[in-house]
Amino acid sequence: MIATLDWKIAQAESEKVIQESSKTFYFATRLLPAKKRIAIVALYAFCRTTDDLIDHSEATLSDLEAWRAQVNLKPEDQSNPILLLWSQVREEFGIDRRYEQELIDGVAMDLSKRGYRTWEELQEYCYRVASTVGLLSIPIIGLARGTTFEQAAPYAIQLGIALQLTNILRDVGEDASRGRVYIPEEDLTNFGLTRQDILHRVYDERFVGLMKFEVARAKSLYQKALPGIVYLDKSVRAAVGVAALLYKAILDEIETIEYRVFDQRAYTTAWQKIKLLPGILYKVITLQPISCAN
């Protein structure tokens, strides 16, 4: 049993992570029932902290494997407050730890890969670091009556890829400063660009054409994923829909700043979120299920 003080500290630390790292997801979690909200905050904090491990130049695969070993500890053996809360949540909700381990494997790819040749390769990375989060979420947020995990999973996978591609497009400049280029080489080639062009922050009609193509691809992924919300428990549909569509709105902001992602960060303000909320909620309640092709 986790001591009350330890639980409060762990929850406070996890709340701090999501507040500082993603105002969009923090905004959306306010729409969740209390117990599910705490569990989702724990999941987000675990994922964010795992990803942050490799965001400095000295990080090694050994560091990540040491973290994996710590993640694998039972709640009573945890000393890290983030992992204390997450390990309790995964036991309480019966989380399939395969996806937890795949997420760590995805983070490891940032240490072992310089880039991605094809869209298929990048999709695999997006699946590991983002789709796994959706798959981990399903037992927490719950499914609609009569719905199976297998029905909901393809939509969660598509949404994860859409969210991660949005991250990649928003963070092109930030990633370039770290020597990282996630946009597939085949796409760069199709628009007459190279990896070095991205690292050197080349902004011209070729780059704008590339970004228009990638933004359209991301929007298409959201279009395929969103109908899967109807397979979720009614109590969480609004929160999931708001999180997804507010994140999708980042793509609109990228267009607004004319794809100048090398020196500007696209985001939605608190006021924009509030203005978008009624339309998003209406869209969520009127969604109809459709076939989701991977």
**pLDDT tens sequence across 234-264:** 999 999 999 899 999 999 999 999 999 999 9
Task: Write the DSSP symbol of residue 190.
Answer: H
Q: What is the DSSP string of 200-256?
A: TT--SHHHHHHHHHHHHHHHHHHHHHGGGGGGB-HHHHHHHHHHHHHHHHHHHHHHH
DSSP for residue 76: G
Q: Are 84 and 6 in contact (CB under 8 A)?
A: yes
Residue 94 backbone zone (phi > 0: left; psi -120 to 50: alpha; other: beta): left
Q: Binning pLDDT at 50, 70 and 90, where does residue 1 land? A: very low
CATH of 113-294, one of 3.40.50.2000, 3.40.50.280, 1.10.3720.10, 1.10.600.10: 1.10.600.10
Decide if 141 contacts 97 (C-beta within 8 A): no
Q: Residues 202-212: pLDDT tens digits?
A: 999 999 999 99
Question: What pTM, to 2 d.p., does this model score?
Answer: 0.90
Cα separation, 244 vs 156, whole angstroms: 11
Looking at residue 183, what is its pLDDT? 98
Q: In the numeric block, which tokens belong to residue 14? A: 């996890």
Q: What are phi and psi of 143, to 5 degrees?
A: -110, 160
Q: What does the domain layout of the chain look like in residue ranges?
A: 1-97, 113-294
Of 8-12, 74-78, 89-93, 150-154, the least confident: 8-12
Determine the Cα–Cα distance for residues 266 and 252; give it in Å rounded to an integer. Answer: 9
Percentages (nearest 5) of helix, strand, coil residues in the chain: 75, 0, 25
pLDDT band for position 3 (cuts 50, 70, 90):
low
Q: Compute the mean pLDDT over every residue in the chain, rounded to the nearest whole number.
A: 91
pLDDT of residue 136: 97
What's residue 292's pLDDT? 58
